[in-house]
């Protein structure tokens, strides 16, 4: 039986950069906070907690914190998904050092929507309204902004007459669905500027998971329960391979493989550390 890892799997560039930032900051001896969990992976967050990293869950919690007693003694790290502009202001007003680990690809979206706002454009964010990345992007819009994620919502969208629009997407949004939504706006005759801000890391991970799942007898998808990109990988793999398992850690894996299994494929979401992927790979190799 062969065990094969998808060509692209696990931490993407932005998440690796953010997690590395936390480890670097820990070396400084400051009190370290992250604004929200640094990645959508409970094991990683737990490991960091054990090293003293504290998570500020939301704006209310941040607002309720006492100002830093001694300048330079505590830092708040912004995670790869980014945050609304006002969060930076609150962090600084409390005297914390603000360490920005927003992924540069997300930062680019913040800049695009900020500029669009100054040009008087109505910003359309194609993405999941409940996702922190989308909330962050919204927090950089200075004028009208609409978040939508379905073709129906695009069909129903009505803006003020003669209003120019600027369309961006959540980095993890499905490319074909984004194109479809953009076409709806174009058919409706909007004067728009469209920036495809979907990140390649997502496309590559999805493409290589699909290729592997199509040839695998069993597919294992590793990632956090709350990670939207991992859930998408699971959806894609399930379509290609009926025996697809979604696991968070090795403990969730209860495989009983029939003898006929020739190939077990493994892929992992953008928040899954290499260490965990290797553990699963080794476990399957040794035990089956
Ligand atoms: Fe950045 Fe793309 Fe990852 S936007 S956080 S490199 S999925």
Tell me how far CA of residue 129 lies from CA of 134, 156, 230, 237, in angstroms: 6, 17, 18, 25
Ligand 1: which residues within 6 Å by Cβ? 12-15, 80, 103, 105-106, 171, 199, 201-202, 270
Mutate to test the pocket of ligand 1, among 36, 38, 80, 196 (most ligand atoms within 8 A of CB): 80
Residue 189: per-residue pLDDT: 86
Beta strands per DSSP E along the chain: 2-5, 31-35, 54-56, 74-78, 97-100, 122-126, 145-148, 165-169, 192-194, 218-222, 244-247, 263-268
* Ligand 1 atom at minimal distance to the Cα of residue 13: 6
Mutate to test the pocket of ligand 1, among 105, 112, 272 (most ligand atoms within 8 A of CB): 105
* Residue 126: alpha-carbon gap to chain centroid: 14
What global pTM score does this model have? 0.83
Residue 163: per-residue pLDDT: 87
Q: Active-site residue 133, yes or no?
A: yes
Closest to 241 (Cα-Cα) out of 214, 208, 207, 222: 214
Q: Domains in the chain, please, with CATH?
A: 2-10+201-287 (3.40.1010.20), 13-103 (3.40.50.11270), 105-194 (3.40.1010.20)
Beta strands per DSSP E along 143-262: 145-148, 165-169, 192-194, 218-222, 244-247
Residue 288: per-residue pLDDT: 79
Tell me how far CA of residue 81 lies from CA of 23, 55, 100, 103, in angstroms: 18, 15, 11, 7
Those residues whose C-beta lies under 8 Å from the C-beta of residue 219, and which sit 6 or more positions away, are: 209, 212, 213, 237, 240, 241, 243, 244, 245, 264, 265, 266, 267
Distance 75 CA to ligand 1 centre (A): 23
Closest residue (by CA) to atom 1 of ligand 1? Answer: 14
Q: What are the structure tokens assigned to 52, written together?
A: 């003293």
Q: What are the structure tokens assigned to 96, written together?
A: 């914390």
* Catalytic-labelled residue, pool 97, 133, 135, 149: 133
DSSP state of 143: S
User: Averaged in consecutive runs of 10 residues, what is the pLDDT profile of the chain (288 residues)?
Assistant: 95 92 96 92 88 96 94 95 96 97 97 96 96 96 96 92 91 91 91 88 92 97 86 96 94 84 95 92 90
């Amino acid at each position: 039986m062969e065990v094969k890892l998808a060509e692209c799997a696990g931490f993407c560039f932005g998440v690796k950069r953010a997690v590395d930032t936390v480890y670097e900051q820990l070396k400084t001896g400051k009190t370290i906070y992250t604004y929200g969990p640094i990645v959508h992976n409970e094991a990683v967050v737990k490991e960091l907690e054990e090293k003293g990293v504290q998570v500020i869950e939301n704006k209310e919690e941040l607002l309720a914190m006492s100002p830093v007693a001694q300048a330079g003694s505590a830092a708040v790290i912004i995670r790869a998904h980014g945050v609304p502009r006002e969060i930076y202001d609150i962090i600084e007003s409390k005297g914390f050092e603000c360490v920005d680990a927003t992924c540069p690809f997300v930062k680019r979206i913040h800049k695009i929507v900020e500029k669009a706002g100054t040009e008087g454009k109505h910003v359309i964010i194609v993405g999941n309204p409940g996702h922190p990345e989308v909330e962050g992007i919204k927090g950089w819009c200075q004028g009208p902004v609409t978040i939508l994620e379905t073709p129906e919502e695009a069909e129903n969208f009505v803006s003020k007459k003669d209003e120019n629009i600027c369309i961006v997407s959540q980095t993890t949004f499905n490319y074909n669905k984004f194109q479809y939504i953009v076409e709806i706006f174009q058919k409706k005759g909007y004067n728009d500027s469209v920036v495809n801000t979907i990140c390649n890391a997502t496309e590559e991970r999805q493409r290589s998971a699909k290729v592997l799942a199509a040839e695998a007898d069993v597919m294992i998808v590793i990632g956090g329960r709350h990670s939207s990109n991992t859930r998408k990988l699971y959806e894609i793999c399930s379509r290609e391979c009926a025996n697809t398992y979604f696991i968070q850690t090795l403990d969730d894996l209860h495989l009983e493989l029939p003898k006929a299994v020739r190939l077990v494929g493994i892929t992992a979401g953008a928040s899954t550390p290499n260490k965990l992927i290797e553990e699963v790979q080794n476990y399957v190799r040794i035990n089956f």
